Amino acid sequence: MKVLHISTSDSGGAGIAALRTHIALLESGVKSKFLCLYKSSTSVPEVYQYRTSGISSIKKNILNRFGIKLPNSVLNKRKVKGLRGEYEAFSFPRTDIALHHHFLVKEADIINLHWVANFIDYPSFFSNLKKPVVWTLHDMNPFQGGFHYSKDRENNMNVWGDLESEFENLKVESVKKLSTLHVVTPSKWLGEATKNSKVFSNRPVHESFFYGIDFEVFKPLRKEVACEALGIPVEGIKIFFAADSLLNKRKGFDLLLAALLSLKNHQDINLVTIGHTTDNQLQSNFKCYNLGTLKDAKLINIAYNVADCFVLPSIEDNMPNVMLEALACGLPIISFPVGGMAEVIKTGDNGILAKALSSECLAEAIQGFIDNKFIFQRNEIRDTAFRMFNMKQHADKYIGLYSQIKS
């Protein structure tokens, strides 16, 4: 059985999760390959970058002058020209990539799609693909128009509504062309949203396909050793937060700052962060250590191990890799009761779920941790995480689904 994973990137949250699925399958003896538009990994076997040639501005002008159909990349820019709003991302279902012609697509027995925004061209890809497809969703973009999460969609419909509806309908019509499609969601939250969508309403949806991670990479270390390696004092309570960008509103860093500033004795708190930020964002009345953007997994593991707890205040999220990695290190998670966090975090066992989505409730949960309202055993947290997120179990679920489809 030859499986091809298709992802826009092999980095970023969704790209890393997809790459880990590929690795897990390789380790289980599956003939797995990985095709992406943007490639950063160098040590993982069977990862291929799609090569595409751009079109020059001169050629675009010539095509336009003679009335020849413009590339989708140009049309996409024209569609959004003048549209404004605050949102995390907006992606297009039409691209200039004829991915169905690629040799890896042609040789595969099963196609496993992942986060494919701005990579596949929905109309041409799905109308020409005659193979069974498993689609692992990492956010809501595959069944929304261009937005990736529901709150961005809701907040921008007054300006983007026509385009959002146009793209959603295009996806509905395109996905209809697939004869065999199974949808996989890492969380029940995303699974329920998928079932209620127009795009996937009549397709089988497999929920709670938890991500897999390498427990040899993410593991507990002595706090003193970790702190010395990163130049962070051992003394004091250390709260950890990580995201690609601390400026991303969906990740809730602003809620975390507000919660920390409201705590009694907040001057004793050390906040350790990973992710892009600005200097003024971290100006507070407590100590902040921003480690910047880390890519090396071993360095990230050291960063987890300086902390006493990991705070994950996302207001919408599927199954964040950082949650799994922190749990593998034995860290308790403090989070809102939303998305995949509500499915994984059990108050008193492996973390604390805030009572509601607000900085006040988040502060109450953090204060409860500081006051030792719950006593956490890091080895037990790691053991539970291993039972849920080990790579073999992750691979076995996909192998079972692939076998079901092929039989």
The domain defined by 223-389 carries CATH number 3.40.50.2000: yes
223-389 and 2-212+390-406 share a CATH fold: yes
On the question of pLDDT at 368 being above 70, the answer is yes
**Residues 144-198: tens digit of each pLDDT:** 999 999 999 999 999 999 999 999 999 999 999 999 999 999 999 999 999 999 9
Q: What is the pLDDT of residue 265?
A: 76
Query: How much is the average pLDDT of 2-17?
Result: 97
The band of 61, judged by pLDDT with boundaries at 50, 70 and 90, is: low
Question: Domain residues of the chain, as ranges?
Answer: 2-212+390-406, 223-389
Closest CA to 259 of 354, 324, 127: 354
Q: What is the pLDDT of residue 56?
A: 45
Q: What is the pLDDT of residue 381?
A: 98
Instruction: Using a pLDDT cut of 90, give the percent of the chain over it.
Output: 86
Listing DSSP states for 162-213 in one string gives HHHHHHHHHHHHHHTT-SSEEEE-SSHHHHHHHHTSTTTTTS-EE------B
The domain defined by 2-212+390-406 carries CATH number 3.40.50.2000: yes
Q: What are phi and psi of 206, to 5 degrees?
A: -110, 110
Cβ neighbours of 233 (radius 10 Å): 12
Q: What is the DSSP letter of 289?
A: E
